[in-house]
Structure 1
Amino acid sequence: MSQRNDIDEFFSSDRTSARSESIELGSLSYREHLYPLQDEVLAPYRGMTYEEFTADRYSAPFLRSLLEYWKGLYDEPFVGLTTDGSPIEGLYGPADPEGTADPELLAAASHLLDLVSTDQRDDLCYPLDAPEWRGWSNPEFVFFRTGLRLEDLHPAIASAILDVVERSLSPEGFARVSEAMHLNAYLGELVDLPRIMNSESYWFALFGTPGSEAPWGWQLFGHHVALNFLTVGDREIVAPVFLGAEPALSEGARPPLFDAREQLAISLAESLDSSQRRDAIVFESVLDPLMPEGRLHPADERHVGGAFRDNRVVPYEGICADSLDDHQWDLVLRIVEDFHLLLRQEQREATMAEVRAHRAATYFSWYGATDGSQPFYFRVHSPVILAELDHHAGVWLSNRLPARFHVHTTLRLPNGNDYGKATLAAWEREHSEH
């Protein structure tokens, strides 16, 4: 019989309890942390649909409290993630008011709309300024039901939705998203709960009316995948983004999802000299006893940009990029570009130009050992990006402490440009003058 968790069926206090000793990863595979299929952690959910699982999870006091908290955050007026509660204006240049959306993307969206029924269209489509943009979340249980659920649809409609997603993203970006969705199915296979976790466990919604000139967008979200896409004028924005996997390293069964990004980050952390390390390494461990109260959350652990955190105040921490040499700054940029991989090449170049313009206000922070021997957390934060990667304890696997085979990553555009809101506002001002 496995050890039961003590906060909730899926969450233990170990993930938020300070530890003075280091958390060594050792050589254990994620397979060493698979529950037996008959274990009481898994067996009660055998055969359940995602709705049945959701109804069961809602009986947990911790989850009810979490959802009440999330709902309070959702109901707040949108401000955007800031360092002090006051967004900086004018950071994001206006899109060209004469710019138009990609015709192949428009054709994909039109094809989807032609396939759905009137009732499905009512569920699929929202006004551009609908609050439902902010209702995404990453767990496998359902909170907000926004749009259509892929696994409930005729295969032709589900395929048309994925075609919209694919034509919105770079080829390599779509491959990463697709792999995250398939890793969710892989997890469902490992724990024999395929009706709760599969490659179509995702909600999709359209916002605005797809057209060559009018801004519009879409949202895809579910377990370990949440994307928000907006096309406005000649710009495309993909944020917020949440991508994760458990397991992220699947030993040849599936490609590793974040390994290249992690190796870049380890190279950067290892390159720091003693003076730089004093600034960059904020905590010696991901469960450092010096962390202030509230820094760790049983669900979010260390990441700060997850679901419903649209208005979070996150001060800068770590080392300023002005204190890095050019090679180290190049590593920062390569890490950031990997977070922006979902953008098509031309869009990524425009976004990276915005990042480069803020070197003097860009900060890199690290928690944990820098040699890859321990789980770690890192963040790149500037006026125009907050990107983070965090190693988590198990949910469907039994590791009660963080491990590198359970990864959460988030991408935010601070100071009001999540969901492309700042770019959209600038476009509307420009458009009204033409």
Structure 2
Amino acid sequence: MVTSVMLATAMVAGCSESDTSPTAVAGSAGKDPGGRPSGGPGGGGFGNLQTFTAENLNTDGDSPGGANTAAVVTAVNAFLATLDGDTKAKVNLDFDDSQARQTWSNYPATVVARKGVALKDLTEAQRTAAFAMMKVALSDAGYQQILNIQKADDYLNTLGGNGADGFGSLVDYQVAVFGTPSATAPFMVQFGGHHLARNLTYNGDKVSETPQFVGSEPTSFTSGGATVTPVGDESAAMFAMAASLTDTEKAAAKLTDGAYDDLMMGPTHDDGVFPASQGVAVSSLTAAQKKLVLAAIAPYVNDLADAAAAKLLAKYESELDQTTIAWANNTGPTDESSYLRIDGPSVWIEFINTRSQSTPDIHYHSVFRDKTDDYGSTKPS
């Protein structure tokens, strides 16, 4: 008999060894550098060991605006209109259900269940409407990244064995809508699964795209005769930023408070408490290096629809002189455990080359958060 725990273990084995390992663990036993208990990506374990706690979210997030909210409302309503009553009840949930809104993970949805409905349980017409909704909410690049990350899941599925045959673009992904879509009142669109979390919160012309998780195993592969690199833009820009540092700057940027083997602010870290800023100050860098820092932020921000993305990137650019960059373990693009961080008054980005188990070498984990606007909230609690 295959128990649920055995199934979860098999599924995670197909994901990666590091997807079942602790987050960045520092000097004190059992704690990461932020002082949180360790034990799984983002601080959980797998299956029922990864728990999510509701925080008191508000809707006063520090968004610079520019959201295409009216168009998103139309697309969301078109998707909801395709659903029968029972399915709609699963998809369209209460906006005040903070625990459900904060339930996202880098694990497959078959291992860590999200609210909403699995893509596999939708008809083709319903899935088409769901993807059309995401296409309106995101930029072309942001939408294509969803498709590419799902292609990576399909690629894992073709490998078979070691749990990899349980992956797939329909099996691993869920969609949910929190609240009533409105041009004036807050609502949220959530789409995610293995190596993907899109959390889009709208409130009038304001929009938050964080927390956002993107990852890819493998880092590149061939699909339909073309090379696919789902997190290639983020990887190239982050490592170009790190490569620009002089030896002195690199020494100043090094994190020395522990061994970092995954992300610190991944799933379950919704208490609004970020680690103290560390690393080298961007204000001390050359103009060319500052451009590289902004270029490393841009691929994350630019997943959002264009007008809102431009306003958000301008906000982060205005805060560059109060921003730091840091690294741990290694800084090579293909080195295992290379860990890079951008930490500003608002922006928080982590990127790591983490171990793979189903494929050779490393694969990518990355999280983008906004300290002033996660879930459209100025402060989670």
With normalisation by structure 2, the TM-score equals 0.80
Moved over 6 A (4+): 13-18, 192-195
CA-to-aligned-CA distance 1:253-301 (integer Å, 9 cap, x gap)? 5411233332333332222122211111336xxxxxxx53xx54xxxx3
1:164 equivalent in structure 2:
133
Pair 171,327 (structure 1): closer, same or farther in 2 beyond 3 Å: same
Distance 2:174 2:81 in 1: 19
- Opposite residue 166 of structure 2, the aligned amino acid is I
Q: Percent identity?
A: 22
Pair 304,314 (structure 1): closer, same or farther in 2 beyond 3 Å: same
1:386 equivalent in structure 2:
348
Distance 2:155 2:214 in 1: 15
1:279 equivalent in structure 2:
252
The residue correspondences of 1:228-243 to structure 2 (distance < 5 A) are 228-243=199-214
For the 8 Å contact 1:229–1:419, the answer to whether it is kept is: yes
Paired residues in the alignment total 341
What secondary structure does 1:386 align onto?
Answer: strand
- Opposite residue 50 of structure 2, the aligned amino acid is W
Aligned residue among 238, 243, 263 for 1:270 = 243
2:102 equivalent in structure 1:
134
What secondary structure does 1:409 align onto?
Answer: strand
Pair 381,144 (structure 1): closer, same or farther in 2 beyond 3 Å: same
Aligned residue among 210, 215, 225 for 2:196 = 225
For the 8 Å contact 2:95–2:187, the answer to whether it is kept is: yes
Aligned residue among 150, 170, 179 for 1:208 = 179
Work out whether 1:70 is the aligned partner of 2:50. yes
1:119 equivalent in structure 2:
86
- Opposite residue 240 of structure 1, the aligned amino acid is P
Shift of residue 187 of structure 1?
A: 1.1
The residue correspondences of 1:206-355 to structure 2 (distance < 5 A) are 206-250=177-221, 254-282=227-255, 292=258, 295-296=259-260, 301-311=261-271, 312-355=273-316
CA-to-aligned-CA distance 1:37-78 (integer Å, 9 cap, x gap)? xxxxxxxxxxxxxxxxxxxxxxxxxx996556532xx22535
Shift of residue 93 of structure 1?
A: 5.2
Indicate the structure (1 or 2) with the bigger Cα radius of gyration. Answer: 1
1:419 equivalent in structure 2:
375
With normalisation by structure 1, the TM-score equals 0.71
What secondary structure does 1:379 align onto?
Answer: strand
For the 8 Å contact 2:265–2:274, the answer to whether it is kept is: no
2:39 equivalent in structure 1:
none
1:409 equivalent in structure 2:
366
For the 8 Å contact 2:348–2:368, the answer to whether it is kept is: yes
Distance 1:379 1:322 in 2: 16
2:62 equivalent in structure 1:
92
Aligned residue among 323, 332, 357 for 1:362 = 323
Query: Runs of 5+ in structure 2 lacking a partner?
Result: 1-8, 25-42
Distance 1:379 1:313 in 2: 12
Shift of residue 16 of structure 1?
A: 7.2
